[in-house]
């Protein structure tokens, strides 16, 4: 899953794709490099990020979504606002990626009448404050329980399990140790065997482990990505599609020979 942030302030690629024609070109480049789907986001959720009004979020998304409708890969939209969900579904989005994990009835109602896939992500707290003091009794069990509650509510609302992915939300209200435990135990996150999506690309946990700045975290991101795939991740959300594709090609050839 290639990341396309249509934002001025995303932590690693903020401002690069604000111009729709640059964003559309970047999307085609990621598809050429082997992306199987794209995730379009118009509001940064990095720690401390400002909330973007609905109109501004839609103004950023609409031209890019319209231009990419026929691009040949499914389009996910990373949003936590029900109004934005409804509008992008009307524009042909294939998946809604909600970092609030469809916590609100409004979010559930926004996806219910459609056939879009739903990525249910776990976040403790709010982006403005989530990294201040995240606390869990037992991080894997706690995240698993919240994800199970959320996915059960979606299913009770009539959304089939085949439409649902889960994501432990690396860096969303988690310390380095929480992130590492979750990455090592991805296979334990769902009793139903729901597919796991993981986003670790260039994140601060890579910086904490390697001491590298955001623009020098590719090697660390690839290592985390492969570890996540080995632990059961089915979709990896990444900025560097070509390098990720190469790493996966080599790693899976070795796995097949084992």
> Which residues form the interface with ligand HH2 (CB under 6 A)?
3, 5, 7, 10-12, 41, 44-46, 78, 97, 99, 119, 121, 167, 169-170, 197, 199, 237
Q: What minimum distance in Å lies between the beta carbon of 165 and ligand HH2?
A: 8
Q: What minimum distance in Å lies between the beta carbon of 237 and ligand HH2?
A: 5
Cβ proximity to ligand HH2, 87 vs 225, nearer residue: 225
Cβ proximity to ligand HH2, 31 vs 43, nearer residue: 43
Question: How far is the C-alpha of 104 from the C-alpha of 251, rounded, in Å?
Answer: 39
Handedness of CA 205, 11, 48, 74 (dihedral sign): negative
Closest CA to 13 of 38, 35, 41: 41
- The catalytically annotated residue of 80, 144, 203, 217 is 203
Which secondary structure element, helix H or strand E, spans residue 40, and what is its range?
strand 38-41
User: Which tokens hold the place of 39?
Assistant: 């995730």
Q: Residue 237 catalytic?
A: yes
| Cβ atoms < 10 Å from Cβ of 150 | 23
- The catalytically annotated residue of 81, 144, 202, 237 is 237
Are the beta carbons of 221 and 196 closer than 8 angstroms? no
Cβ proximity to ligand HH2, 11 vs 257, nearer residue: 11
Q: Which residue is nearest to ligand HH2 (CB)?
A: 199
Provide the annotated active-site residues: 203, 237
């Amino acid at each position: 899953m290639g990341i396309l942030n249509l934002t001025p302030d995303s932590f690693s690629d903020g401002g690069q794709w604000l111009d729709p024609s640059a964003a559309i070109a970047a999307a085609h480049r990621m598809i050429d490099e082997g992306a199987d789907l794209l995730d379009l986001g118009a509001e940064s959720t990095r720690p401390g990020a400002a909330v973007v009004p609905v109109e501004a979020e839609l103004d950023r998304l609409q031209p890019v979504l319209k231009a990419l409708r026929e691009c040949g890969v499914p389009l996910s939209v990373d949003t936590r606002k029900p109004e934005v969900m409804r509008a992008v579904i009307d524009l042909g989005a294939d998946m809604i990626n909600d970092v609030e994990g469809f916590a609100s009835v409004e979010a559930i109602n926004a996806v219910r009448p459609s056939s879009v896939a739903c990525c249910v992500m776990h976040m403790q707290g709010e982006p403005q404050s989530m990294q201040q003091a995240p606390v869990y009794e037992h991080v894997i069990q706690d995240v698993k329980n919240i994800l199970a509650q959320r996915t059960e509510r979606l299913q009770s609302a009539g959304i089939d399990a085949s439409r649902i992915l889960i994501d432990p939300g690396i860096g969303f209200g988690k310390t380095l140790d929480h992130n590492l435990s979750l990455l090592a135990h991805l296979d334990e996150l769902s009793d139903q065997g729901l597919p796991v999506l993981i986003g670790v690309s260039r994140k601060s946990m890579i910086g904490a482990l390697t001491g590298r700045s955001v623009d020098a975290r590719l090697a660390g991101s690839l290592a985390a990505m492969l570890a996540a795939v080995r632990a059961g991740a089915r979709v990896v959300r990444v900025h560097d599609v070509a390098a990720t594709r190469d790493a996966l090609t080599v790693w899976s050839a070795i796995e097949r020979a084992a």
